[in-house]
Amino acid sequence: MKSKQKTVIALKNISKIYEGPPQVKAIDELSLEIQEGDLVSIVGQSGSGKSTLLNMIGLLDTVTEGTVEIEGQDISSLSDNELSKFRGEKIGFIFQSFFLLPGLTAQENVAEGLLYQGIKREERLKKAAEVLEDVGLGDRITHQPKELSGGQQQRVAIARALVQDPAFILADEPTGNLDKESGMNILNILKELNKQGKTVVMITHNQEHAKKFKKVITLTDGKIVA
């Protein structure tokens, strides 16, 4: 079955070393393939290198050693513009602290997700309203982040990640700042998105949450242990 699937991201023997002092080897010769349609959680203690790994997968950071291939292409040859374009079109990011822009409404925040795609403002706002409806916030589109609960804010952030219709969703501790119920809600949304065909990678230190995903990768000291 695996052979029929397309490899979206392939990490080959990557290492990430933060030049100190002290020098830290956050990722240690790690190899990993993520297939199209995967629902993967990466779990590990804090300091195990999960966030660093996610940044590598999300093209937010560069590797010290090894290669990262996206859809078969080695990204070390890509320029900043190409990488940015790739992030903008293919990857939807969800962060632990939501990272919504204060002062903008939920709709405007979601529309920002299309800002760098060369789409007209009216169209961006229209699309944003649709996606907010999809995540169950159709009645909150004019609210500012500070007027929303944590779970609602995270759903706005998910809408922002989804508005550009990415193939690939990267979530960095998306439930970390939420209560249990809101956390479960977010997990269900991610699972639902996976059913609709999106590749979802989530990092978490919550074993229980991690187990709800099809594939669980456990990270310790920058290495995959399970």
Partner 1 sequence: MKQRLKIKDLFFVALYGVRARRGRAALTSIGIGIGIAAIVAVTGISASGRADLLATLESLGTNLIKASPQAGFFGTQEKLPDGVVGMVERIGPVEEVTSTTQTDLIVRRSDFISEFEGGGISTIVTSPELLQVVGGNLIEGRFIQDGLSNIPVTVLGSVTASRLGINTLETPTKILIGNEWFGVVGILDELKIHPDLDRSVFIGYGVAKTLFDIDKEPTTIYVRANPTYIEDVVEVIAPSMNPENPDQVQVSRPSDALEAQEAADAAFTNLLLGLGSVALLVGGVAIANVMVMSVLERRMEIGVRRSIGATRREIRYQFLLESIVLSGIGGLVGVVLGTGVTLGYTNYTDIVFSIPVSQVLGAILLALLIGAISGVYPAIKASKIQPAEAVRK
Taking contact as CB under 8 A, which single stretch among the options 35-43, 74-82, 146-154, 208-216 is the one that binds partner 1?
74-82
Supply φ then ψ for residue 151, to 5 degrees.
-65, -40
**Of 31, 84, 142, 207, which one interacts with partner 1 (CB under 8 A)?**
84
Phi-psi map region of 157: left, alpha, beta (phi>0 left; psi -120 to 50 alpha): alpha
Minimum CB distance to partner 1, residue 86 (Å): 8
Nearest one of 51, 61, 153 to 102, comparing CA atoms: 153
Minimum CB distance to partner 1, residue 186 (Å): 17
Minimum CB distance to partner 1, residue 11 (Å): 15
Contact call for residue 89 and partner 1 (CB under 8 A): yes
Distance CA 9, CA 83 (A): 14
Distance CA 182, CA 48 (A): 26
Residue 215 CB neighbours (<10 A): 13
Distance CA 66, CA 63 (A): 7
Rule CB under 8 A: which of 134-173 touch partner 1? 160, 164, 172-173
Minimum CB distance to partner 1, residue 1 (Å): 32
Contact call for residue 99 and partner 1 (CB under 8 A): yes
Positions touching partner 1 (CB under 8 A) are 51-52, 55, 58, 60-61, 80-82, 84-85, 87-89, 91, 93, 95-97, 99, 101-104, 112-113, 115-118, 120-121, 160, 164, 172-173
